[in-house]
């Protein structure tokens, strides 16, 4: 489970970087706290589906691409 969270966190960080967004900008666009973005990118936390959907939308990628294994 931890390895999966870290892999998804890495994809989130890479997608955010490709979109030229800071963690703070992404959090604002997704309507979540910046600390949540930090925890998700590091793989130390997980989120509900709705949060992942908002993050994917804010970055401009599909949810499937963001959370694929």
The total of structural domains in the chain comes to 1
Check which CATH number belongs to the domain holding 10 and give it.
1.10.260.40
Contact 60, 21 (CB under 8 A): no
Each residue of 2-21: pLDDT tens digit? 899 999 999 999 999 999 99
| Burial of 23 from C-beta contacts in 10 A (0-12 / 13-18 / 19+) | middle
Average per-residue pLDDT for the chain: 95
Each residue of 17-41: pLDDT tens digit? 999 999 999 999 999 999 999 999 9
Taking CA atoms, 62 is separated from 29, 45, 66, in Å, by 16, 21, 6
The per-residue pLDDT for 27 is: 98
Question: Which residues constitute the domain of residue 39?
Answer: 2-67
């Amino acid at each position: 489970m931890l390895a999966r969270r870290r892999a998804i966190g890495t994809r989130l960080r890479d997608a955010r970087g490709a979109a030229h967004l800071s963690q703070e900008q992404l959090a604002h666009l997704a309507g979540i706290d910046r600390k949540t973005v930090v925890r998700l990118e590091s793989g130390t936390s997980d989120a509900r589906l709705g949060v992942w959907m908002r993050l994917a939308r804010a970055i401009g990628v599909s949810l499937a691409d963001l959370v694929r294994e």
